[in-house]
């Protein structure tokens, strides 16, 4: 072992690396991603916007594949990668499964790619000699392969337990693709240690994908990490020529897309100029309020990985040049550094931290004492048992009206919703709850020694809560967040009142709402000021106070809103 490294802080015996049953792991992965992905409408806002760009590709073709848009609106933000994947699947399978369902299929592929990239990356650095636990005087320490597999399993389970990504990986936005590309870059960096050509290829693909998914905000954290990782003293310092190859591989598809998009005439030049301006405008000096809010949001977004990642950084001090710490820590540090140039950091900016935080957190586990591990286990038990009970309690209040205060609050959020009990989802929810109880019984009665026992509780607890929400609450949530009904009303009115050759101009219409009308009924709105018809998005309070655009219009063809929304209001007017 290199003299640069101190005595390893990892203390572990072979039984602690007992193999996690593969069938259980695969079942957990499948249940996690499939539940809540299908059999519902796209929701506000990233879900709807992403779906609209995908369906625009499938419906319109041509320039839409190079210049993402929503009907007549150029969506010059982020990048085309998610729209390409969703649009392709909508073309291939839309006639069989339906456009919306088919466009969601790439989420499964993105998630599996993310899981594979993180698992294999953590495995490669976990089995290296620098990461191995202390050799015991009379033997009994795990071998390199078992130890690396245990680290990889723990990292993957911690990814599943990360609270902030739960909703996003089930949306048709850019997050699933961005997560996958970050994991691919992480794997490329770890692979470069022993197979530099393969590593350079995967790193290049990850960088290119991150840029095509979200532009400069998506790829900047990865680029900032490279000087931290390829620095003197680290093993990757001797792979600089392969890093150059990876950067060249990353640049090729991005440049090819920009050139092809710019060649689309005036519309292409306008789109690219707007996209470049959006990338530049995204950055600025941080604000105090934005930074404090971002720090607060980050603490729950990365729960429970960030405390364990902080422990790993502390316990492995003196090992910062070792690959198992240097790579993940470099990515994490660069992700945090990139937040300092964003005025108001949000959840999309936290995505770059998810993979390295999970990898670092896994390396904290072999350094923890049994008492700390048991405390973390008890916290996971209490936390997720409470969330499961809360889901059931809310469901009882929705259907039975008890407790009355909770029932009243739910009724305010689901005005007009008529709950009906479906016995099959209810029965499945009961079985899943019993499965959680069985997992707890196994943990505290069998007293397993495997180090992944705590992470399986966190991942299983979050998955249990999510499955209960999907089975018991999906109809109510879909009712409260879907624009299907209001879009159908507008489409019927427009078909009846607006003749051929006439157009509708939108006023104050949000991007999410524009996407909703396009997804559900293929409605698109013009920017031509000569349109005789205007669709106004306003609020009920603005109408009462006379602040809404065209509040005094005499020809109101239609007014509508989601039944569960007490503020938002749409009005279709004839002005002339």
**Mean pLDDT of all residues in the chain?**
94
Question: How much of the chain, in percent, has pLDDT values that exceed 90?
Answer: 81
Q: Is residue 518 part of a domain?
A: yes
Q: Is residue 15 part of a domain?
A: no
pLDDT-based confidence at residue 546 (cuts at 50, 70, 90): confident
First to last CA, the chain: 82
Pair 398, 519 in one domain:
no
Pair 461, 517 in one domain:
no
Cα 233 from chain centroid (whole Å)? 34
DSSP, collapsed to helix, strand or coil, labels residue 401 as coil
Per-residue pLDDT reduced to its tens digit, 243-269: 999 999 999 999 999 999 999 999 999
Pair 256, 237 in one domain:
yes
Contact indicator for 13, 146 with CB cutoff of 8 Å: no
In angstroms, what CA-CA distances link 305 with 95, 157, 158, 182, 449? 41, 10, 7, 17, 21
The DSSP H or E segment spanning 508 is none
Say how far apart CA 135 and CA 317 lie, in whole Å: 19
Q: Is residue 25 part of a domain?
A: no
Q: Is residue 19 part of a domain?
A: no
Q: State whether the Cα torsion 222-227-232-238 is positive or negative.
A: positive
pTM, two decimals, is: 0.95
Question: How much of the chain, in percent, has pLDDT values that exceed 70?
Answer: 99
**b vs e for 309-324, b when ≥16 Cβ sit within 10 Å of the residue's Cβ?**
bebbbebbeebbbbbb
Pair 464, 497 in one domain:
no
Q: What average pLDDT does the segment 277-287 reach?
A: 93
Pair 400, 536 in one domain:
no
pLDDT at residue number 6: 57
Contact indicator for 247, 201 with CB cutoff of 8 Å: no
Pair 280, 147 in one domain:
yes
Q: Is residue 6 part of a domain?
A: no
Q: Is residue 558 part of a domain?
A: yes
Pair 379, 499 in one domain:
no
Q: Burial-class residue 172 by CB neighbours within 10 Å (0-12, 13-18, 19+).
A: buried
C-alpha closest to that of 167 among 46, 51, 263 = 46
Q: Is residue 302 part of a domain?
A: no
pLDDT at 1 over 50: no
Least confident interval from 234-243, 254-263, 354-363, 443-452: 443-452
Q: State whether the Cα torsion 269-247-187-237 is positive or negative.
A: negative
Contact indicator for 223, 251 with CB cutoff of 8 Å: no
Pair 119, 179 in one domain:
yes
Pair 405, 497 in one domain:
no
pLDDT at 3 over 50: no
pLDDT at 2 over 60: no
Contact indicator for 253, 212 with CB cutoff of 8 Å: yes
Pair 154, 206 in one domain:
yes
**Which of 94-98, 133-137, 369-373, 406-410 shows the highest mean pLDDT?**
94-98
pLDDT at residue number 136: 82
- 3-8: long-range contacts, CB 8 A cutoff, minimum separation 24: 4/233, 4/321, 5/130, 5/318, 5/319, 5/321, 5/322, 6/318, 6/319, 7/134, 8/131, 8/132, 8/133, 8/134, 8/319
Pair 88, 236 in one domain:
yes
Domain end: 237, 261, 284, which one?
A: 284
Pair 89, 221 in one domain:
yes
pLDDT at 4 over 60: no
The total number of structural domains in the chain stands at 3
Domain end: 446, 481, 516, which one?
A: 481
Q: What average pLDDT does the segment 412-422 reach?
A: 87
In angstroms, what CA-CA distances link 300 with 287, 336, 350, 555? 20, 15, 11, 49
DSSP, collapsed to helix, strand or coil, labels residue 31 as helix
The DSSP H or E segment spanning 446 is helix 423-446
Q: Which residues pair with 536 in a beta bridge?
A: 507, 571
Residue 400, token pair as written in the block: 């039975």
Domain end: 481, 500, 525, which one?
A: 481
Say how far apart CA 50 and CA 204 lie, in whole Å: 25
Q: What average pLDDT does the segment 395-408 reach?
A: 92
pLDDT at 19 over 60: yes
DSSP, collapsed to helix, strand or coil, labels residue 482 as coil
**558: containing domain:** 484-574
Q: Is residue 123 part of a domain?
A: yes
């Amino acid at each position: 072992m290199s003299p640069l490294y101190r005595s390893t802080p990892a203390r572990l015996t072979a039984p602690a690396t007992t193999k996690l049953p593969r069938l259980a792991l695969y079942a957990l992965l499948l249940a996690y991603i499939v539940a809540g992905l299908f059999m519902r409408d796209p929701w506000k806002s990233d879900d709807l916007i992403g779906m609209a760009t995908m369906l625009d590709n499938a419906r319109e073709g041509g320039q839409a594949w190079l210049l993402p848009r929503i009907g007549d609106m150029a969506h010059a933000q982020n990048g085309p990668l998610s729209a390409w994947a969703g649009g392709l699947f909508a073309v291939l399978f839309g006639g069989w499964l339906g456009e919306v369902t088919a466009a969601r299929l790439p989420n499964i592929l993105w998630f599996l790619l993310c899981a594979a990239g993180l698992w294999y990356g953590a495995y490669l650095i976990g089995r290296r000699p620098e990461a191995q636990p202390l050799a015991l005087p009379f033997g009994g320490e795990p071998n390199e392969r078992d130890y690396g597999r245990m680290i990889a399993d723990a990292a993957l389970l911690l990814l599943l337990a990360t609270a902030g990504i739960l909703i996003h990986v089930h949306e048709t936005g850019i997050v699933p693709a961005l997560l996958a590309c970050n994991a691919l870059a992480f794997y490329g960096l770890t692979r470069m240690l022993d197979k530099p050509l393969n590593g350079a290829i995967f790193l290049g693909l990850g960088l290119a994908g991150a840029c095509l998914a979200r532009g400069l905000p998506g790829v900047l954290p990865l680029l900032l990490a490279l000087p931290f990782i390829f620095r003197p003293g680290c093993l990757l310092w001797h792979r600089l020529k392969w890093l150059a190859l990876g950067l060249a591989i990353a640049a090729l598809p991005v440049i090819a897309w920009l050139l092809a998009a710019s060649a689309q005439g005036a519309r292409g030049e306008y789109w690219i100029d707007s996209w470049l301006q959006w990338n530049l405008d995204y950055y600025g000096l941080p604000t105090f309020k934005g930074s404090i809010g971002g720090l607060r949001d980050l603490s729950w977004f990365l729960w429970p990985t960030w405390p364990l990642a902080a422990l790993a950084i502390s316990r492995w001090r003196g090992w910062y040049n070792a690959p198992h710490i240097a790579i993940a820590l470099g990515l994490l540090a660069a992700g945090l550094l990139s937040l300092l140039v964003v005025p108001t950091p949000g959840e999309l900016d936290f995505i770059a931290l998810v993979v390295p935080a999970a990898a670092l957190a896994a390396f904290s586990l072999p350094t923890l004492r049994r008492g700390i591990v048991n405390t973390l286990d008890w916290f996971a038990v209490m936390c997720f048992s409470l969330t499961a009970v809360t889901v059931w309690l809310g469901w009882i209040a929705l259907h039975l009206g008890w407790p009355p205060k909770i029932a009243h609050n739910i009724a305010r959020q689901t005005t007009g919703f008529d709950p009906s009990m479906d016995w099959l989802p209810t029965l499945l929810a009961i079985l899943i709850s019993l499965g959680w109880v069985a997992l707890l019984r196994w943990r505290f009665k069998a007293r397993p020694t495997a180090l992944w026992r705590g992470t399986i509780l966190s991942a299983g607890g979050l998955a249990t809560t999510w499955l209960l929400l999907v089975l018991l609450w999906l109809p109510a949530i879909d009712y409260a967040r879907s624009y299907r009904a209001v879009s159908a009303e507008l489409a019927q009115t427009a078909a009846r009142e607006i003749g051929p050759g006439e157009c509708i101009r939108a006023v104050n219409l949000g991007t999410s709402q524009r996407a909703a009308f396009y997804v559900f009924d293929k409605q698109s709105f013009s920017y031509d000021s000569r349109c005789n018809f205007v669709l106004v998005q306003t609020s009920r309070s603005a109408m009462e106070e006379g602040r809404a655009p065209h509040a005094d219009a005499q020809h109101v063809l239609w007014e509508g809103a989601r039944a569960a929304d007490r503020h938002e209001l749409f009005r279709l007017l004839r002005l002339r």
